[in-house]
């Protein structure tokens, strides 16, 4: 893919929809492309967080370690933004991300991400919205798990 194709992909992601194309081009240029095959790990739970990933194509499972082994909590695809919790909170990775099909990503360093949020507060607002949706989804799953035990 070219830089222009990366920019077009970024424009389709709600997180970056309001960012001007010149800034998206800079972001695409400053990002690192990463390719994964089915079964490849983007990062492991517990790893230090140095970057977030934008899924350009493909799919991946989000896995959380439990005493009974890994638990799949979600599947993500094109347009998903993963790994941001670690860089936002400066904590180790909270989950493992494993590709389930051939996957292309843009790896956004912590420094680049914070520069984009500073320049475009709308990105920060969208990140909060995405994180709030994830929390609500996890709350629903917890309620269902508790109800199933009764």
Structure confidence by residue, pLDDT tens digits, 18-76:
788 888 888 888 889 999 999 999 999 999 999 999 999 999 999 999 899 999 989 99
The pLDDT score that the predictor gives to residue 47 is 94
Which of 101, 113, 110 has the alpha carbon at shortest distance from 35?
A: 101
Sign, Cα dihedral of 32, 37, 63, 144: positive
* Residue length of the chain: 150
The pLDDT score that the predictor gives to residue 1 is 64
Asked whether the predicted pLDDT for residue 14 surpasses 80, the reply is no
List the beta bridge partners of residue 97: 43, 62
Asked whether the predicted pLDDT for residue 144 surpasses 90, the reply is no
The pair of three-digit structure tokens given for residue 86, joined into one six-digit string: 């670690």
The pair of three-digit structure tokens given for residue 123, joined into one six-digit string: 């990105």
Sign, Cα dihedral of 90, 42, 96, 26: positive
What residue ranges define each of the domains in the chain, with the CATH number in brackets? 3-149 (2.60.120.10)
Structure confidence by residue, pLDDT tens digits, 78-135:
988 899 888 888 899 999 999 999 999 999 999 988 888 888 887 788 778 878 887 8
Tell me the average pLDDT across 127-149.
83
- 126 DSSP assignment: H
The pair of three-digit structure tokens given for residue 37, joined into one six-digit string: 């095959």
């Amino acid at each position: 893919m070219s830089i222009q194709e990366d920019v077009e992909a970024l424009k389709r992601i709600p997180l970056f929809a309001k960012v001007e194309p010149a800034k998206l081009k800079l972001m695409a240029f400053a990002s690192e492309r990463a390719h994964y095959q089915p079964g490849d790990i983007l990062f492991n739970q517990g790893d230090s967080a140095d970057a977030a990933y934008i899924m350009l194509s493909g799919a991946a499972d989000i896995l959380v370690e439990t005493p009974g082994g890994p638990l799949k909590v979600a599947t993500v695809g094109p347009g998903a933004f993963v790994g941001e919790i670690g860089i936002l909170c400066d904590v180790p990775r909270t989950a493992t991300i494993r590709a389930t099909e051939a996957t292309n990503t843009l790896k956004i360093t912590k420094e680049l991400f914070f520069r984009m949020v500073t320049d475009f507060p709308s990105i920060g607002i969208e990140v909060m919205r995405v994180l709030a949706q994830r929390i609500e989804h996890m709350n629903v799953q917890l309620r269902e798990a508790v109800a199933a035990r009764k």
